Amino acid sequence: MQPTEPSGDAGYETSDASARTLLAWGAGLVAVLITAGLTTWMFFDALAAHAKRTDPKVSPLAATESSAPPEPRLLTKEPEDLAAVRKEEDQVLGTYDWLDRERGVVRIPVERALELVAKEGLPSRPGSRKSP
């Protein structure tokens, strides 16, 4: 087979979009986008000015919000917080201290309390029956 000869009207189409039309559409699109952006900016600027004029003034005597959130707060330094709590617990559970001086109530270390219970047993109420 032999290649066929192109017809006389082959080449390019003369009805393609012109570059001038495409550039005009592109410029129009850019102009619409810029106009929309400027209009939006001016609208929000006008709304902010209106809000500033109409919002009530805050009294200088009014309480200001604290920077810390309300309780309970998230732990940000958990290992350090846990170590501090355990140190405080060890201090309370391992030392002698008066709880009520007038009634003679004291706090004793846990180890000493266990020794006393092992040696003397737990006190019982008067009139209670003993288990078989």
Question: Does 7 fall in a domain?
Answer: no
> What pLDDT, in 10s, does the model give residues 20-69?
999 999 999 999 999 999 999 999 999 999 999 998 888 878 777 777 77
Question: Does 8 fall in a domain?
Answer: no
Range of the domain at 102: 78-120
| 48, 82: one domain | no
Question: Does 111 fall in a domain?
Answer: yes
List Cβ<8 Å contacts ≥24 apart for 53-57: none
Q: How far apart are CA 31 and CA 25, in angstroms?
A: 10
> What pLDDT, in 10s, does the model give residues 87-100?
999 999 999 999 89
Question: Does 100 fall in a domain?
Answer: yes
Q: How far apart are CA 91 and CA 87, in angstroms?
A: 6
- Residue, of 101 and 59, whose pLDDT is higher: 101
Question: Does 47 fall in a domain?
Answer: yes
Q: What is the pLDDT of residue 51?
A: 93
Count of structural domains, the chain:
2
Question: Does 37 fall in a domain?
Answer: yes
Predicted TM-score of the model (pTM):
0.36
Residues 6+ apart with CB under 8 A from 81: 75
Reported confidence tier of residue 108, pLDDT bands at 50, 70, 90: very high
